[in-house]
Structure 1
């Protein structure tokens, strides 16, 4: 699956993995050693994240049910607790710097495209 910022017409990630059960949401990116440009993790349901035990910083995009961005947290370093975002239904985690590079901001709409 791809993540596209349809407001800005930019690709956020070519390969989006999902975390939709308790165990996968809890683990998130903790056991990964790198998070390359083009990758992302979509966590559902979710309104807050942490970066405990992670090895790198991440950008975090908080989305409502319609995939509109409610908050963008850029370059959250390891061993931090992110904000709790009221109204967030899901979170898209991206490599640090992606949001800045693509101009992604509050109010933009993210589209997820499933490829065959």
Structure 2
């Protein structure tokens, strides 16, 4: 994954899996017991998520159709819901702490 903004271009050493079928998108990380570390999931289409049956927090980045960040959520805890995000068409679920570590912000572009 690569983060591109006006002041940086940064390669992030996280493997991203694509979840694009209905069942993969629906299940996401549910029921997984151990937190994700050097991996994340790209969910498409997706403009909202739930954390039901999750056992660890995650960071979430919502992207528009141009893969530009429209919303970031840091340390989203289990059993919470993120209602539809305006202009979002995809979401990337990442290990908790990723957004701060790599300074991901609104208007950055994400290249997979």
Equivalences, count: 110
1:100 match: 100
| Deviant stretches of 4+, over 6 Å | none
**1:30, 1:36 → 2: CA distance?**
12
**2:13, 2:28 → 1: CA distance?**
17
TM-score (norm 1): 0.88
TM-score (norm 2): 0.91
**Farther-moved stretch of structure 1 (84-93 vs 3-12):** 3-12
**TM-fit CA distance, 1:18:** 1.1
* Contact preservation (8 Å) 1:13, 1:40: no
**Runs of 5+ consecutive residues of structure 1 not aligned to the other structure:** none
**2:33, 2:43 → 1: CA distance?**
19
Task: Report SS of the residue matched to 2:18.
Answer: strand
**1:58, 1:12 → 2: CA distance?**
16
Aligned-residue CA RMSD (Å): 1.3
**Runs of 5+ consecutive residues of structure 2 not aligned to the other structure:** none
